[in-house]
Chain A
Amino acid sequence: MKERIIKRRKGFISIDLKELWVYRELFWFLAWRDILIRYKQAAIGIAWAVVQPLLTMVVFSVIFGGLAKLPSDGVPYPILTFTALLPWQFFANSMRASSQSLVGNSAIITKIYFPRIIIPTSAVISGVIDFAISFVILIGMMGWFRVMPTLNFLFLPLFIFLAFIAALGVGLWLSALNVEFRDVFYIVPFLIQAGQYFSPVAYSSSIIPAQWKFWYSLNPLVGVIDGFRWCILGAPAPDWNNLMVSTLAMVALFVSGLIYYKKMERTFADII
């Protein structure tokens, strides 16, 4: 049998993929537990996953489409916002859940070893269920509004993957920060609220003036949401340069989050 050596790690800490593979089922188990608990305690249970995005869509359609009369790029306003709510709510829920994930699991962290990265990752994975439910609603809406999917639809998994990476990047940052700085708890709701207005959720990104597009695209969600609209609604293809900016911003967020997380990980059990 091979010997394992435990000692103080120095410098850049690599990710032990082999170990993650051994613990692969735990990703799912933790996500499954979160979902189970979330809906066991709710009065109308899983229906929240349906009600929440639908109500938000109605509000956005009335205010931004109906009252503010923002352009809808030729599709019904409800479906325009719903297409964006899909990745956005996934992102926002993941951000909420993952930022609390380490602190919420402190009892386990101080008593049992397993790769710590599983905790915030599972928090993001648990959001996939809500995402899937919303997706079914979307398909229903496409039938109702008679929006035919185009071949672009085939690219959707790519953008779902990007949404996942963006959520995970933010999740890694916030969960690790929250171990040391408990005021992260107060910042997250604000970030989510601000993020919603800085992302093309309630409106189409076509209303952003061209000279601001570059800065606007630094928000990773801009690329993701534009991509979703392109795949699902056959909206104008996202500008590839801007998409590239979004993707690079996302990768930077993810990689830096990973580095920060791995650095902090060594002391989680001591300070949590």
Chain B
Amino acid sequence: MTHKKSAITIDDLGKRYLLGSGGGERYRALRDVIVNGITGLFKRDRSQQEQKEFWALRNVSLRVEEGKSFGVIGRNGAGKSTLLKLISQITEPTEGEIRLRGRVASLLEVGTGFHPELTGRENIFMNGSIMGMTNAEIKRKFDEIVDFAEIAKFLDTPVKRYSSGMYVRLAFAVAAHLETEILLIDEVLAVGDAKFQKKCLSKMENVSASGKTIMFVSHNMASVKNLCSKCIWLDSGRVKMIDDADKVIDSYLLAGEEMGAQKVWNDQDAPQNSWVKMRSVRLLNESEEPAANFKTSEPVLIELVFEVADDGNRIVTGYHMFRRGTFLFSASDQDHNEEKNIRYGKGVHKVVCVVPANLLNYGEHNLEFVIGVNNAQIKTGEVLSFRVFNDYPTEWLGEVRPKLEWRI
């Protein structure tokens, strides 16, 4: 029996963040510190008593064998990204320890360190170097990277002129060609078109087959199942389950924890009242295929299917859109002329609302559906979740990023 060594060993790991008592204020002004006495400069922890603490991760222990792929799943905010940040040494654990055998490369975000003004060629060198490659290594891998990214023609064009697809391809290509023993990947495959996602996945399978250890965070259960042998399920920073990937994913899906891009109710648990019953809700892309990831330049189609018991009811459908916990807007098919709201007769109805392209900002969005009947209401709670990705490398501030008409 061969006993494999472990590449990553984690013991009782925890990461605590302090939330300022004053709310979201992250930076302090120097003048405050000067007012409070110059000692504040050296004692950062001075006001700890006043601050609330929050454990992003606690009591996590696991072992990843060399050459194996390990999945990390859980809802948003479960601590998945924090785990990767701790392993990649970006931030320091509050308690516990991590033991690593081998160099670590992390791909936590596509194109980190890319500079829009630099050309593709310059960015390959820059990015590779930040990720810990030597000049010689980059030169050796250069052709392979360019080949994989399919950007040979645009090598000497500044990346600010790249399409989002090219940008993502180049970024993934650099990371995938790192010669490290351990590779950490966080949900980056969600960007880019289906063909490229497939290419990335098969590249990762190759990487894995070549003996590298991979830790893979994803919301896409199919790719986790495909790639990983073991898996951890995190819930609110705690370990819910560690086992074979198949088992963990099955329990996870069974628990209905994952807010997906569609939801189908059975007769009993569907939100309903005596007039109306929800059947299903889902998200579609421009070509009306189910989707969970959208680009900012794409419309999001929101579909609601419901069943009406009788004719003659005043029925209004709608939904609430949330972004990262912020209530963004509500939308409804309501007509101001109340009489006109009597339009859904007995039977099953399907309505689709098109959220136009260039309205939503990047990030996690959740949806709650509401149907109003006569004077009553049925609500689903937040049932759908989807992500919007930036088309342009720069982050825009604000809850929405509408493309407006400018008269210049």
Contact = CB atoms under 8 A, between A and B. Distances in A.
Contacts of A263: 42
Contacts of B97: 5-7
A113 B89 contact: yes
Please indicate which of the listed interface residues B41, B108, B129 has the most CB atoms of chain A within 10 Å of its own CB: B129
Contact of B29 (A107, A109, A182, A271): A182
Given A40-B117, A183-B30, A5 B99 contact: yes
A68 interface: no
B72 to A, nearest CB: 17
A271 B26 contact: yes
Contacts of B17: 270
A8 interface: yes
Contacts of A7: 93, 96-98
A36 interface: yes
Contacts of B95: 8
Nearest to B7: A1
A126 to B, nearest CB: 14
Given A25-B135, A33-B115, A113 B98 contact: no
B118 interface: yes
B27 A180 contact: yes
Contacts, number: 116
B109 A6 contact: no
A107 B175 CA distance: 16
Interface residues of A, number: 42
Interface in A1-33: 1-9, 22-23, 25-26, 29, 33
Given A40-B117, A108-B112, A183-B29, A3 B88 contact: no
Interface string B95-125: 1111111101010110011010110001001
B92 A8 contact: yes
A182 B27 contact: yes
A146 interface: no
B98 A269 contact: no
Contacts of A270: 17, 91
Interface in A81-128: 107-114
Given A181-B29, A182-B29, A36 B90 contact: no
A3 B27 contact: no
A184 B30 CA distance: 8
A4 B100 contact: yes
Nearest to B106: A112
Contacts of B87: 6
Nearest to B87: A6
Contacts of A22: 132
B106 A111 contact: yes
B32 to A, nearest CB: 9
A148 interface: no
A183 B31 contact: yes
A41 interface: yes
B94 interface: yes
A107 B28 contact: no
A269 B129 contact: no
Please indicate which of the listed interface residues B91, B122, B130 has the most CB atoms of chain A within 10 Å of its own CB: B130
B90 A107 contact: no
Interface string B295-312: 000000000000000000
A112 B130 contact: yes
B16 to A, nearest CB: 10
Nearest to A266: B92
B383 interface: no
6 contacts: A2-B101, A6-B92, A6-B99, A111-B109, A113-B90, A271-B27
Closest 6 CB pairs of A and B: A7-B97, A113-B89, A181-B30, A111-B112, A29-B129, A6-B98
Given A107-B109, A269-B85, 4 more contacts: A29-B126, A111-B106, A264-B44, A267-B92
